[in-house]
Structure 1
């Protein structure tokens, strides 16, 4: 019957598993059992999701019980949840019972069939539910490759009912239940995989459309501000590389199944990588970005870094840039602060890069405030958190 487990005294009083061997066993009806198992095997092949209810009713019928069910352990909550209940306890379908304070928990601890008489004497939650259980026979439910994941149990209408023959039948049925659970889980995983593939296809189609739209906009706007074809090629190439870096992060995040999105710190570091790392200081709390925010912020920081390299702090060996951000319940506040560069004067007119930054920030619901201080450009950006999230 497997290893014995030391039980608390109150539980020991209702724990009568030894009675299974002492009681007389009726002659087994092997033909009936064989036909029943064949029926279950057919059900498992054709309709695996229907096997467990059929199996529970079969256990109740063969063992002449008044109720039966399956309890599956939910590891995160350390509770058993009742499934496929049949008989007088069918109304408790979906109910939960505690792992460490239930007959099912004792059965898993013993890892063998367990018989209890009137367990409501030891478990308050059974008594509080006004359930009378003259006898309950439980057997472990195992899934191949895993430890016991629950129990199959049957309840008798009177004491002295169950014997070793019933325990044998229940153990065989529990083996079928374990196989059925494995098939159901496999089918669910396959369905989820197909749904993920379909989602991936839609997502990639959406991203390709967005990428073409952004690229088309950059080409048209860059061509209007460029003085020569070389200037157009250089400007457009830099912007496309920033966009490609951002898109690579988005693709990696989606591909590894993560729901956290792209990290803001990583995005900024990636976009600023072509410039001298020693000139940058990046600091702020962890924030996850969705695809749209990732692409837009990549362009914003690329333009800020490009302007700093042409006219600001990054154009001098002594220059540096500090990127900081803080978040409250509704917004994130970003700061781009240049220092150590040439004397800064406000421009007579905004160049394309500055207009692109402002337009991009406003497009995702934010606002931007530049300050051309003599000691270096300061840019304050406020964005709603809702515009950043994946």
Structure 2
């Protein structure tokens, strides 16, 4: 199906940053995509317009009941000036899974993919070319019906904005210290932990503040029932190399099905490295550290791709992992995924989508 998306180009282009070592999510491009929903018309009026504030009624349900979901993915500029997106279909699938959990109407996934392509092509001159840089893409849905009543909204906006992002690691991928959270809970099975919704992130801010005050970069979340099974690290999925096997928490309904997580599992299997998706207790990790079988640990996510874990603190005991340096597997995974994303390495999985330059010309 062919979708026609009207484009209103800005009359006041912003100055592009002189360099791309920007703080994540602080520099936005010239345009945005908007799609409206109401109960009578369904999703309608797709359009690309100049980046601008949006006007909402103070009673809009998103402010009062948190009915909102979002995604995050990236576009890359290759050395030969091709534009690539990494696994956008996976993000779009997950966006609708989050929609269903939050009682938001499904989006047409083909239309969303076309909108992603077209907004990136409109602002293609913003895509940075330096190693480690990219154009971050943030699709999101908000409930806009101005009614104070606890029920699903009858009106929504779906939007896409773009942000120029520099290398997540200014000086290479270095291991971070992690505080194992003993008090706060991120999510429980049956809740919204497997949806990408704002409340999940707001619920983690207090624990993150306290971990930061203790000198740690992130928290390692334990399950909300037994308080012993590992779930995520910060807002990332987490992996442990125990001996020759890599293990990661199974998707149990409270863990986000990360696109990078899925990519890492496929990559490891492609390399013949054993991977297990199962319940992992903090006690098992402590014992593995004491026995010397805990070789590496790392988080995975869109922003950083790989975030090596150099130490864990649990019940006043600090566990240094891999002598506190980035492990061989962490580096290998990072180099492989970023190489595929930027078109430097072969993509045996069909992960990247190339945006046709012929389409770019019509947006000039």
TM-score (ref. length: structure 2)? 0.19
Higher helix share: 1
Higher strand share: 2
